[in-house]
């Protein structure tokens, strides 16, 4: 009798302890969400721009669409992605695989399958529209999906690809944007607190010159080749008759294949993975404007949709009888 | 003229006087002076017509605009006991100032009066004091608080009341700077677009679900929206996604049912196939999802949550509705009673997202109770706190936006500044200037509206589509265009002027230019 | 020119004074320099390597598939159609009908166009028949088109049936593919260049064609004489009036054909090998250049691509090079029976060349605009652009101008040229009086001689029959020649008598004519460099060398006139025909009729230049030589 009661007491005590412990640990976890805010950002946006048109620039479209797929896979929803494609490769009559865009000669993934939302297409991709998008000075009748509705808690990933040169990037074969324009746009964004951090990646010839004029805080820039160097294409598809992907973007995507929703890989890992002899140009990184340590900046800070989530503790007694809530100190 | 005429005559073969072929000095002088005259007239004309139009903005006033704000609370004491309101006010103000920890230029002050005609407006609160054994504060739904004081001594009573007043005011002032709720709540906007979505993951393997939403929204959401209307409009819409498909994260299996761990939650709402987009171009969206999992996953629980619901910062909320006892192929309607439970969760989440603070001021040694506004979802105290919070934020936004605008306009001298921008800046400034008066006269609602207007106009001016720097070009462009026109013309002009000056200069006066033949005569 | 003609007696700028002092000596070195420049062009060290300017084309970046069983059977289908007995009136109708049915069976929109033309205006009428089929691009609107053309007979007067068969095979291949952004038009004509011209005129708004497509971006013409296999292809690209296709088109066809192992050589000439001496290389280059220059100057090329160039359609001709020992070719030459197709590997190679060219042209988004439009090619895959050869023309023009300046300065009496400031006004008056006397006469002489040229130009067109039958054309030319000589003598006689009163000055006449020739040669050199050089050679050069001595004795004058007679058009024609081995006195066939026909049909400038510049200037030179 005594033994059983002792035993039951022990069990009771232990279970109480377990519950108490569990409860407190739960509470701890819940509170953790509130405080684990080194980054203090609540949403991620992506702006992906392809600036070239014409059939022989297929690879720029494939670059941008591959980035789009990656960014979506890692969690950013379409409502937070602005995709600008200057031409339509999938439905180009010269495409012997109509309605499909591939980035590998083996044609394993169709980048343009279902569920692609292109926000700016064709001739809407202009320098003026791009600057208006970044600074927020769009016309009043612009639809929601063409606006960059970021605030001071948004991390923005901006990816640009096309033909470029020293301090400029060619839009649509007819106009150019230069590095001062982009730097000015970022300055305006910072003035109006339209971003928390920006990751600016650019894959063109002489790309590193494009970020040389930035001077707003919290911008990390990565370019594919330095001044005087060309960025090269990677795979040529003899079936389609065009090159289908650029080297820099290809090796970035290869790295991202090992990144998933919960990955803890950092930007330092990404940059360390750049192999100059494979990319055949010198990628550049500009970190002086970026406050955080690259080794502590996760890729999911920019590429994922790590949203701050809080469990709802209790419901509100709406529609019921008057209820009092009290607290004692 | 005569010389020219003679020259032509010579060429045409008529008899001419060979002596008068040369003499163009007078002509030259005339030509040079006429050109100089035209230049004097033309340059100012060109300058004024090619100047860009820039409306004058009150730059100095904006750059020196004071960010300071004083927000007065008025407390009316309604009691049979004797209290000295001046003492209370003095002591309360001292306590508030002592507790101030932030460096914002906003000061909350307290005024204490005897109860007279109390206006039913934000900022005016009635404190009903009565004797009791234990000190307690009971906040009502409307702007009344029942305070039980246990002190017998009038001085101590005054101190206790002053402490209560100071705690109420100082807590709110502290919360202006708090980070905790700020990350979760959306910023002020004049209109929010709220969407309630019923998501059915798999109707084929389970049941087809619908809900009695019209009635439920009318009962549960409309009162909330109506109460909030003076501050912000809520545009409510609802939809049902009948075949949503699986979520991006697969729930983990448990002995009975499935569960989600807290780190899986952030990816839960990001399925590309759930069409949750809004069509309104500007209003921020708040999306609430009532998720009905597939039958094979039911019951789906969130680990560590008693409500099976969670809030996503600045986005909306998700609640999971397990419908036990449904059969495959049935058609289920979620009834009003069940919806009351879920809407309780949604209202709690909506309160958090809008920015309403749920907690009460903690006063040591006192029991504090707060009456929940079950009819509307938001009590007057909470509404007023939200209003003041938004007013301060708008005030600051308006001023900083105007200052950014002025900086921008001054940095680009060639940019056109249209009249509309000036009009909006003026409107914003006049609203800002009227705020202190509204506050000091106790009309906090008017002050809120003025601040909202000021912010609206300031942002309208700053985000005006004409202020894109690409559209304007620097002065060097002007020179690059004009130079090819005028440079080839000015060179011969200058040469002629130089010759004219040399001719008229003193050393030539001694030898007048006479035709050779005249000399021979 | 104002500087050159500025009057005497007025204050001249130092540069002008310097020019006048030395201009007598400048003309000859400049002339020599231009000749040396031309002689240096064939040196390959001074030329550049060809390259592709247009990024969009991406030649040879895609697999080629032409040559399957189905394509071969489509090619044989033409023979089957031809073999059908039909009730056609003549050979042309039968061939056209066969091709029409074959195109229809392949799914092309086809049409037959019948027309009539006369080679030389107003003389006789030949009928012709065109057939064309349009392959519509499935996924594109028919805004642009590519064209493949063939004539029923090659330039060497053999049957071109191999090309027509190949076109059928290509049409079959093209109809199987989904990636065409432009329509493809297959055109077969039996009227040679005239047929193409008629078709193009109707296509571009002349009416008469029902089946049309969009703007034609480029055209490839095929000439495949009967043979078992080809040693290579000849690439011909010259048009009339100096028009040339964009250099990109020539370069990609050369590149693609080399990759497909049936290389296309310019004019069918293989380059001198690397190991040969520099003299060998020079001779080869010079030969190629001379062929181009003569083609461009005369306006005659191999193949039917020339009319396309007038409509801004870049076009060239690929012609198969037959080995002299080719059995099939020899058999055809002896029996005249239409031969079988060449060996499959040959057919596949040529077909793939055309296929790859079509793929590259398909990638084009705009008209050819990146590469050169003015060039001459000294060797395969090398080029000389206009910047490199136009200085020669500039030097020629400069030599004429300097001599004109010198002569203008030297006209009139010597006292008009002194530097004495006291007599300045008198000098000016005397100068203007002199001009008043002589300038109208000079202009009158020039006008009268040119009137003769106008008559020469207009008569064959206004009175065609009378002029262009066998005997009358010969008589016509000789009559004109006699008329010219008599006019020359008359003019020089008239002014001989009046020369005492100085009514005309030969120096002034020569200066004005030199200016006129300089302007003509200068403007022409930009449009048609070859024609300008030839024109300078036959007009400018004799002009510079006329009456260069200080004293004009009778012997010298006669020698001068003989030289000018040798340089006259009639003599040039006679000599060239003798050099080519044809009967010298027969003017019924080229070049006179050819020039005339080209001028009438294609707007070629050779004939007007001969009538309005060459002939009159020659006569004027004689007048200058004979004047006192």
Nearest by CB to A324, from B187, B371, B464: name it: B371
Q: Tally Cβ neighbours within 10 Å of residue C77.
A: 19
Question: Between chains, do C422 and B11 touch, taking CB under 8 Å as contact?
Answer: no
Residue C250 lies inside a defined structural domain of this protein: yes
pLDDT of residue B48: 85
Question: Between chains, do B348 and A139 touch, taking CB under 8 Å as contact?
Answer: no
Of the residues B15, B18, B499, the best mutation for testing chain C's interface (the one with the most C CB atoms within 10 Å of its CB) is B18
Residue B321 lies inside a defined structural domain of this protein: yes
Cβ neighbours of residue A132 under 8 Å, at least 6 residues apart?
A138, A139, B465, B468
User: Which CATH number is C175's domain given?
Assistant: 3.40.630.10
State mean pLDDT over B133-138. Answer: 82
Of the residues A55, A105, A244, the best mutation for testing chain C's interface (the one with the most C CB atoms within 10 Å of its CB) is A55
Nearest by CB to A96, from C56, C179, C363: name it: C179
Q: Say how far apart CA C154 and CA C304 lie, in whole Å.
A: 9
- Its sign, for the CA torsion C139, C141, C145, C150, is positive
- In the set A104, A163, A234, A236, the catalytic residue is A163
The dihedrals phi and psi of A2, each to the nearest 5 degrees, come to -65, -40
A163 is catalytic: yes
CA distance C425 to chain B (A): 7
Question: Between chains, do A93 and C56 touch, taking CB under 8 Å as contact?
Answer: no
A127 → chain B, closest CA residue: B470
Q: Identify whether residues C132 and C78 lie together within a single domain.
A: yes
State mean pLDDT over A307-312. Answer: 81
Q: Identify whether residues C303 and C416 lie together within a single domain.
A: no
Cβ neighbours of residue C416 under 8 Å, at least 6 residues apart?
C8, C9, C427, C430, C431, C434
Q: Identify whether residues C373 and C270 lie together within a single domain.
A: yes
> Is residue C182 very low, low, confident or very high in pLDDT (cuts 50, 70, 90)?
very high
pLDDT of residue A326: 66
Kindly state the helix (H) or strand (E) to which residue B6 belongs, with its residue range: helix B2-12
Nearest by CB to B219, from A140, A145, A319: name it: A319
Residue B369 lies inside a defined structural domain of this protein: yes
State mean pLDDT over C193-215. Answer: 93
Out of C357, C380, C403, a domain closes at C380
Cβ neighbours of residue C619 under 8 Å, at least 6 residues apart?
C449, C452, C484, C487, C488
Q: Identify whether residues B239 and B324 lie together within a single domain.
A: yes
> Is residue A26 very low, low, confident or very high in pLDDT (cuts 50, 70, 90)?
very low
Residue A13 lies inside a defined structural domain of this protein: no
pTM of this prediction exceeds 0.95: no
β pairing state of B124-131 and B69-78: parallel
Weakest mean pLDDT among A106-110, C286-290, C571-575? C571-575
Residue A208 lies inside a defined structural domain of this protein: yes
User: Which residues are paired to B312 by β-bridges?
Assistant: A309, B316
pLDDT in tens, C444-492: 889 988 998 898 888 877 776 655 665 566 667 777 778 887 887 777 7
Residue B334 lies inside a defined structural domain of this protein: yes
pLDDT of residue A31: 32
Question: Between chains, do C58 and A92 touch, taking CB under 8 Å as contact?
Answer: no
Contact indicator for C234, C267 with CB cutoff of 8 Å: yes
pLDDT of residue A256: 94
Question: Between chains, do A241 and C181 touch, taking CB under 8 Å as contact?
Answer: no
Contact indicator for B486, B43 with CB cutoff of 8 Å: no
Q: Identify whether residues B218 and B338 lie together within a single domain.
A: yes
Closest by alpha carbon to C237, among C187, C304, C188, C149?
A: C304
**CB of A28 within 8 Å of any CB in chain B?**
no
Question: Between chains, do A312 and B345 touch, taking CB under 8 Å as contact?
Answer: yes
Residue C537 lies inside a defined structural domain of this protein: yes
β pairing state of A43-50 and B233-241: unpaired
Q: Above 80 in pLDDT, residue B114?
A: yes
Weakest mean pLDDT among A234-243, B324-333, C153-162, C518-527? B324-333
Q: Tally Cβ neighbours within 10 Å of residue A124.
A: 14
CA angle A160, A166, A171 (to 5 degrees): 45
Q: Say how far apart CA C581 and CA C568 lie, in whole Å.
A: 20
pLDDT in tens, C45-56: 778 888 888 888
Q: Above 70 in pLDDT, residue C299?
A: yes
SS (H, E, C) C387-437: HHHHHHHHHHHHHHHHHHHHHHHHCCCHHHHCCCCCCHHHHHHHHHHHHHH
pLDDT of residue C581: 60
CA angle A146, A213, A172 (to 5 degrees): 45
Instruction: Return the CA Rg of chain B.
Output: 40
Q: Above 90 in pLDDT, residue C188?
A: yes
| More reliable by pLDDT, C415 or B379 | B379
Residue A248 lies inside a defined structural domain of this protein: yes
pLDDT of residue C372: 92
> Is residue A106 very low, low, confident or very high in pLDDT (cuts 50, 70, 90)?
very high
Q: Identify whether residues C410 and C281 lie together within a single domain.
A: no
Q: Identify whether residues C217 and C83 lie together within a single domain.
A: yes
Q: Identify whether residues B204 and B342 lie together within a single domain.
A: yes
Contact indicator for A95, C138 with CB cutoff of 8 Å: no
Q: Identify whether residues B208 and B228 lie together within a single domain.
A: yes
In this predicted complex, what is the ipTM? 0.82
Kindly state the helix (H) or strand (E) to which residue B131 belongs, with its residue range: strand B124-131
**Which residues on A lie below 8 Å from B318 (Cβ)?**
none
Q: Say how far apart CA B291 and CA B201 lie, in whole Å.
A: 8
SS (H, E, C) C179-248: CCCCEEEEEEECCHHHHHHHHHHHHHHHCCCCCCCCEEEEEEEEECCCCCCEEEEEEECCCHHHCCCCHH
Average pLDDT, chain B: 82
Q: Above 90 in pLDDT, residue C415?
A: no
pLDDT of residue B479: 82
- Tally of domains within chain A: 1
pLDDT of residue A156: 96
Q: Above 90 in pLDDT, residue B427?
A: yes
Q: Above 50 in pLDDT, residue A27?
A: no
CA angle C589, C590, C596 (to 5 degrees): 100
Out of C323, C353, C380, a domain closes at C380
Residue C30 lies inside a defined structural domain of this protein: yes
CA distance B244 to chain A (A): 14
- For chain A, the straight-line distance linking the first and the last C-alpha, in angstroms and rounded, comes to 43
pLDDT of residue C588: 46
Q: Identify whether residues B230 and B299 lie together within a single domain.
A: yes
Out of C347, C380, C413, a domain closes at C380
**CB of B183 within 8 Å of any CB in chain A?**
yes
Listed in sequence order, the DSSP H helices in B129-250 are 154-175, 213-216, 222-228
**Number of helical (H) and strand (E) elements in chain C, helices listed first:** 22, 11
pLDDT in tens, B439-466: 888 889 999 999 999 999 999 999 988 8
pLDDT of residue B128: 87
Q: Identify whether residues B339 and B273 lie together within a single domain.
A: yes
Q: Identify whether residues B81 and B107 lie together within a single domain.
A: yes
Find the domain containing A265 and state its range: 43-303
Q: Rounded to 5, what percent of chain A is helix, strand, coil?
A: 35, 20, 45
B231 token code pair: 């501050």
A328 token code pair: 């004692």
Find the domain containing C548 and state its range: 14-43+386-626
pLDDT of residue A34: 30
User: Which CATH number is A71's domain given?
Assistant: 3.40.50.1460
Q: Identify whether residues B377 and B330 lie together within a single domain.
A: no
Question: Between chains, do B19 and C425 touch, taking CB under 8 Å as contact?
Answer: yes
> Is residue A214 very low, low, confident or very high in pLDDT (cuts 50, 70, 90)?
very high
Q: Say how far apart CA B142 and CA B123 lie, in whole Å.
A: 12
Q: Above 60 in pLDDT, residue A14?
A: no
Q: Identify whether residues B340 and B380 lie together within a single domain.
A: no
> Is residue C396 very low, low, confident or very high in pLDDT (cuts 50, 70, 90)?
very high
Nearest by CB to A94, from C55, C63, C179: name it: C179
> Is residue B371 very low, low, confident or very high in pLDDT (cuts 50, 70, 90)?
confident
Residue showing tokens 């000190």: B135
> Is residue A24 very low, low, confident or very high in pLDDT (cuts 50, 70, 90)?
very low
Q: Above 80 in pLDDT, residue B9?
A: no
Contact indicator for C543, C514 with CB cutoff of 8 Å: yes
Q: Identify whether residues C358 and C408 lie together within a single domain.
A: no
Q: What is the DSSP code string of A83-122? A: EEESS-STT-TT-SSTT---SSTT----TTSS----SEEG
- Tally of domains within chain B: 3
Q: Identify whether residues C307 and C441 lie together within a single domain.
A: no
**Which residues on A lie below 8 Å from C140 (Cβ)?**
93
CA distance A222 to chain B (A): 25
State mean pLDDT over C20-31. Answer: 85
pLDDT of residue A7: 57
Q: Identify whether residues C26 and C152 lie together within a single domain.
A: no
Give the three-class secondary structure for A169: strand
Q: Identify whether residues C396 and C315 lie together within a single domain.
A: no
C421 → chain B, closest CA residue: B516
Give the three-class secondary structure for A124: helix
> Is residue B511 very low, low, confident or very high in pLDDT (cuts 50, 70, 90)?
very low
pLDDT in tens, C478-490: 777 788 878 877 7
**Which residues on A lie below 8 Å from C138 (Cβ)?**
93
pLDDT of residue C375: 93
Question: Chains with 3 or more CB pairs closer than 8 angstroms to B?
Answer: A, C
CA distance C61 to chain A (A): 5
Q: Identify whether residues B303 and B220 lie together within a single domain.
A: yes
**CB of B216 within 8 Å of any CB in chain A?**
no
pLDDT of residue A37: 43
CA distance B19 to chain C (A): 8
Cβ neighbours of residue A273 under 8 Å, at least 6 residues apart?
A251, A255
Q: Identify whether residues C598 and C498 lie together within a single domain.
A: yes
Nearest by CB to C62, from A91, A95, A238: name it: A238
**Which residues on B lie below 8 Å from A311 (Cβ)?**
262, 302, 304-305, 307, 309-311
Average pLDDT, chain C: 86
**Which residues on A lie below 8 Å from C365 (Cβ)?**
54-55
A166 token code pair: 């020293």
pLDDT of residue B20: 44
Sheet holding A219-223, edge to edge: A120-121, A81-85, A43-50, A154-161, A197-203, A219-223, A284-286
> What beta strand segments (E) does A186-232 contain?
197-203, 219-223
User: Which residues are paired to B74 by β-bridges?
Assistant: B111, B124
**Which residues on B lie below 8 Å from A34 (Cβ)?**
180
**Which residues on C lie below 8 Å from B18 (Cβ)?**
425-426, 429
Residue A21 lies inside a defined structural domain of this protein: no
Nearest by CB to B18, from C422, C425, C436: name it: C425
State mean pLDDT over C368-385. Answer: 91
**Which residues on C lie below 8 Å from B24 (Cβ)?**
none
Nearest by CB to C365, from A54, A236, A239: name it: A54
Question: Chains with 3 or more CB pairs closer than 8 angstroms to C?
Answer: A, B
The dihedrals phi and psi of C377, each to the nearest 5 degrees, come to -115, 110
Weakest mean pLDDT among A150-159, B248-257, C202-211? B248-257
Give the three-class secondary structure for B193: strand
Q: Identify whether residues C369 and C392 lie together within a single domain.
A: no
Residue C53 lies inside a defined structural domain of this protein: no
Question: Between chains, do B464 and A139 touch, taking CB under 8 Å as contact?
Answer: no
pLDDT of residue A33: 32
Find the domain containing B231 and state its range: 191-354
Chain A 45-104, CB below 8 Å of chain B: which residues?
72, 75-79
> Is residue C423 very low, low, confident or very high in pLDDT (cuts 50, 70, 90)?
confident
Chain A 54-113, CB below 8 Å of chain C: which residues?
54-56, 91-96, 98
Q: Identify whether residues C372 and C391 lie together within a single domain.
A: no
A276 token code pair: 């100059």
Question: Chains with 3 or more CB pairs closer than 8 angstroms to A?
Answer: B, C
Question: Between chains, do B19 and C429 touch, taking CB under 8 Å as contact?
Answer: no
Give the three-class secondary structure for C375: strand
Q: Say how far apart CA C256 and CA C269 lie, in whole Å.
A: 17
State mean pLDDT over B46-72. Answer: 84
- Tally of domains within chain C: 2
Q: Identify whether residues B105 and B198 lie together within a single domain.
A: no
Burial of C356 (0-12, 13-18, 19+ CB in 10 A): buried
Give the three-class secondary structure for B421: helix
- In the set A41, A50, A80, A205, the catalytic residue is A205
Q: Above 80 in pLDDT, residue A243?
A: yes
Q: Identify whether residues B105 and B218 lie together within a single domain.
A: no
Chain B 458-487, CB below 8 Å of chain A: which residues?
462-465, 467-471
Average pLDDT, chain A: 85
User: How many Cα atoms within 13 Å fall on the side-chain side of residue A306?
Assistant: 19
Contact indicator for B149, B132 with CB cutoff of 8 Å: yes
Task: Please give the torsion angle defined by the CA atoms of residues C506, C512, C513 and C514, in that order, rounded to the nearest 10 degrees.
Answer: 110
Nearest by CB to A93, from C62, C139, C359: name it: C139
**Which residues on A lie below 8 Å from C139 (Cβ)?**
91, 93, 98
């Amino acid at each position: 009798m005594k033994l059983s009661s002792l035993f039951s007491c022990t069990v009771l005590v232990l279970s109480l302890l377990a519950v108490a412990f569990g409860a407190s640990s739960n509470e701890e976890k819940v509170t953790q969400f509130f405080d684990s805010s080194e980054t203090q950002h609540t949403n991620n946006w992506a702006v992906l721009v392809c600036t070239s048109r014409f059939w022989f620039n297929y690879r720029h479209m494939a670059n941008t669409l591959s980035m789009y797929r990656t960014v979506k896979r890692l969690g950013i929803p379409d409502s937070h992605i602005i995709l600008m494609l200057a031409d339509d490769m999938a439905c180009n009559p010269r495409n012997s695989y109509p309605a499909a865009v591939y980035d590998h000669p083996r044609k394993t993934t169709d980048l343009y399958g279902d569920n692609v939302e292109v926000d700016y297409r064709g001739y809407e991709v202009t320098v003026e529209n791009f600057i208006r998008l970044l600074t927020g000075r769009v016309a009043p009748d612009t639809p929601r999906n063409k606006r960059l509705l970021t605030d001071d808690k948004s991390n923005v990933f901006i990816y640009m690809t096309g033909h470029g040169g020293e301090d400029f990037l060619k839009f649509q074969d007819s106009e150019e944007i230069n590095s001062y324009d982009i730097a000015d746009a970022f300055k305006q964004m910072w003035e109006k607190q339209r971003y928390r951090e920006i990751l600016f990646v650019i894959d063109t010839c002489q790309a590193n010159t494009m970020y040389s004029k930035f001077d707003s805080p919290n911008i990390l820039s990565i370019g594919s080749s330095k001044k005087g160097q060309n960025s090269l294409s990677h795979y040529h598809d003899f079936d389609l008759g065009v090159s289908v992907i650029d080297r820099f973007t290809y090796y970035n995507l290869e790295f991202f294949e090992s990144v998933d929703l919960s990955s803890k890989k950092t930007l330092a890992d990404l940059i360390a993975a750049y192999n100059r002899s494979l990319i055949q140009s010198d990628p550049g990184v500009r970190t002086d404007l970026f406050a955080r340590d690259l080794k502590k900046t996760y890729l999911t800070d920019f590429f994922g949709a790590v949203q701050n989530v809080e469990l709802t503790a209790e419901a509100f007694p709406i529609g019921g009888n008057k209820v009092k809530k009290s607290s004692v100190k | 003229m005569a010389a020219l005429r003679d020259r032509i005559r010579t060429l045409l073969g008529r008899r001419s006087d060979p002596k008068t072929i040369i003499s163009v000095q007078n002509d030259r002088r005339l030509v040079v002076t006429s050109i100089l005259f035209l230049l004097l007239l033309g340059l100012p004309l060109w300058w004024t017509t090619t100047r860009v139009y820039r409306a004058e903005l009150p730059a100095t006033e904006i750059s020196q605009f004071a960010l300071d704000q004083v927000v007065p609370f008025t407390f009316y004491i309604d009691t049979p006991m004797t209290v000295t309101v001046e003492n209370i006010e003095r002591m309360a103000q001292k306590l508030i100032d002592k507790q101030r920890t932030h460096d914002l230029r906003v000061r909350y002050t307290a005024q204490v009066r005897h109860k007279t005609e109390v206006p039913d407006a934000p900022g005016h609160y009635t404190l009903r004091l009565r004797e009791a054994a234990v000190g307690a504060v009971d906040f009502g739904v409307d702007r009344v608080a029942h305070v039980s004081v246990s002190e017998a001594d009038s001085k101590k009573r005054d101190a206790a009341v002053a402490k209560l007043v100071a705690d109420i005011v100082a807590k709110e002032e502290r919360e202006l700077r708090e980070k905790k709720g700020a990350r979760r709540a959306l910023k002020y906007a004049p209109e929010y677009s709220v969407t309630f979505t019923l998501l059915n993951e798999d109707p084929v393997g389970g049941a087809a679900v619908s809900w009695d939403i019209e009635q439920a929204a009318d009962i549960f959401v409309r009162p909330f929206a109506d109460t909030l209307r003076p501050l912000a409009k809520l545009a409510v819409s609802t939809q049902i996604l009948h075949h949503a498909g699986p979520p991006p994260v697969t729930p983990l299996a448990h002995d009975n049912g499935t569960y989600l761990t807290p780190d899986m939650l952030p990816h839960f709402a990001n399925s590309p196939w759930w069409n949750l987009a809004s069509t309104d171009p500007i209003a921020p969206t708040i999306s609430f999802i009532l998720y009905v999992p597939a039958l094979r996953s039911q019951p789906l629980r969130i680990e560590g949550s008693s409500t099976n619901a969670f809030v996503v910062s600045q986005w909306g909320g998700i609640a999971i509705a397990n419908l036990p006892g449904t059969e495959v192929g049935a058609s289920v309607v979620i009834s009003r009673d069940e919806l009351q439970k879920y809407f309780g969760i949604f209202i709690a989440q909506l309160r958090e997202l809008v920015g309403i603070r749920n907690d009460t001021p903690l006063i040591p040694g006192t029991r504090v109770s707060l009456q929940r506004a079950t009819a509307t979802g938001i009590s007057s105290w909470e509404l007023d706190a939200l209003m003041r919070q938004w007013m301060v934020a708008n005030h600051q936004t308006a001023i900083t936006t105007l200052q950014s605008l002025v900086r921008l306009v001054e940095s680009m001298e060639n940019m056109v500044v249209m009249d509309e921008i000036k009009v909006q800046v003026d409107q914003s400034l006049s609203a800002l200037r009227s705020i202190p008066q509204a506050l000091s006269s106790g009309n906090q609602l008017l002050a809120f509206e003025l601040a909202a207007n000021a912010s609206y106009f300031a942002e309208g001016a700053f985000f005006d589509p004409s202020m894109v720097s690409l559209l304007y070009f620097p002065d060097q462009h002007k020179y690059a265009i004009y130079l090819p026109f005028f440079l080839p013309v000015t060179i011969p002009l200058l040469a002629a002027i130089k010759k004219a000056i040399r001719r008229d200069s003193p050393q030539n006066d001694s030898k007048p230019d006479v035709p050779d033949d005249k000399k021979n005569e | 020119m104002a500087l050159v003609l500025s009057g005497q007696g007025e204050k001249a700028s130092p540069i002008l004074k310097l020019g006048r002092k030395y201009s007598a000596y400048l003309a000859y070195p400049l002339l020599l320099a231009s000749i040396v420049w031309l002689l240096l062009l064939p040196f390959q060290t001074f030329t550049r390597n060809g390259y592709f300017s247009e990024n969009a084309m991406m030649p040879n970046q895609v697999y080629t598939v032409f040559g399957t069983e189905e394509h071969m059977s489509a090619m044989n289908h033409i023979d089957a159609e031809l073999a059908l007995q039909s009730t056609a009136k003549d050979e042309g109708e039968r061939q056209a009908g066969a091709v029409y049915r074959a195109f229809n069976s392949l799914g092309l929109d086809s049409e037959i166009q019948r027309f009539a033309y006369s080679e030389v205006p107003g003389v006789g009428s030949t009928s012709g028949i065109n057939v064309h089929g349009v392959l519509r691009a499935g996924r594109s609107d028919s805004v642009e088109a590519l064209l493949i053309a063939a004539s029923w007979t090659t330039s060497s007067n053999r049957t071109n049936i191999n090309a027509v068969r190949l076109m059928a095979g290509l049409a079959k291949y093209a109809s199987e593919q989904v990636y065409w952004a432009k329509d493809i038009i297959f055109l077969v004509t039996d009227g040679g260049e005239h047929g193409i011209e008629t078709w193009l005129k109707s296509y571009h708004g002349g009416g008469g064609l029902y089946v049309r497509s969009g703007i034609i971006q480029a055209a490839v013409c095929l000439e495949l004489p009967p043979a078992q296999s080809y040693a290579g292809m000849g690439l011909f690209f010259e048009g009339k009036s100096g028009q040339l296709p964009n250099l990109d088109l020539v370069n990609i066809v050369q590149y693609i054909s080399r990759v497909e192992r049936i290389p296309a050589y310019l004019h069918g000439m293989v380059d001198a090998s690397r190991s040969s001496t520099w003299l060998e290389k020079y001779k080869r280059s010079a030969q190629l250049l001379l062929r181009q220059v003569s083609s461009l100057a005369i306006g005659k090329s191999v193949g039917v691509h020339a009319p396309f160039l007038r409509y801004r359609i870049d076009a060239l001709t690929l012609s198969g090079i037959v080995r002299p020992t080719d059995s099939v070719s020899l058999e055809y030459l002896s029996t005249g029976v239409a031969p079988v197709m060449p060996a499959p590997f040959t057919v596949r190679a040529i077909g793939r060349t055309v296929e790859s060219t079509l793929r590259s042209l398909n990638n084009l988004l705009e008209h050819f605009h990146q590469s050169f439009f003015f060039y001459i090619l000294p060797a395969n895959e090398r080029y000389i652009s206009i910047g490199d050869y136009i200085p020669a023309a500039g030097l020629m023009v400069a030599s004429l101008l300097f001599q004109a300046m010198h002569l203008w300065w030297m006209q009139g009496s010597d006292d008009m040229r002194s530097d004495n400031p006291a007599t300045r006004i008198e000098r000016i008056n005397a100068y203007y009086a002199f001009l008043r006397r002589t300038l109208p006469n000079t202009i009158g002489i020039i006008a009268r001689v040119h009137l003769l040229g106008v008559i020469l130009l207009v008569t064959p067109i206004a009175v065609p029959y009378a002029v262009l039958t066998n005997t009358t054309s010969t008589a016509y030319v000789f009559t004109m020649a006699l008329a010219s000589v008599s006019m020359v003598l008359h003019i020089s006689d008239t002014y001989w008598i009046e020369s005492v009163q100085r009514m005309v000055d030969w120096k002034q006449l020569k200066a004005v004519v030199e200016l006129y020739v300089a302007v003509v040669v200068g403007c022409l050199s930009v449009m048609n460099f070859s024609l300008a050089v030839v024109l300078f050679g036959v007009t400018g050069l004799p002009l510079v060398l006329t009456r260069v001595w200080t004293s004009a004795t009778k012997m010298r004058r006669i020698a001068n006139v003989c030289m000018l007679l040798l340089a006259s058009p009639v003599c040039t024609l006679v000599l060239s025909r003798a050099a080519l081995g044809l009967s010298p006195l027969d003017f019924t066939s080229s070049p006179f009729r050819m020039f005339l026909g080209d001028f009438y049909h294609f707007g070629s400038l050779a004939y007007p230049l001969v009538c309005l510049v060459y002939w009159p200037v020659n006569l004027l030179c004689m007048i200058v030589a004979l004047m006192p």
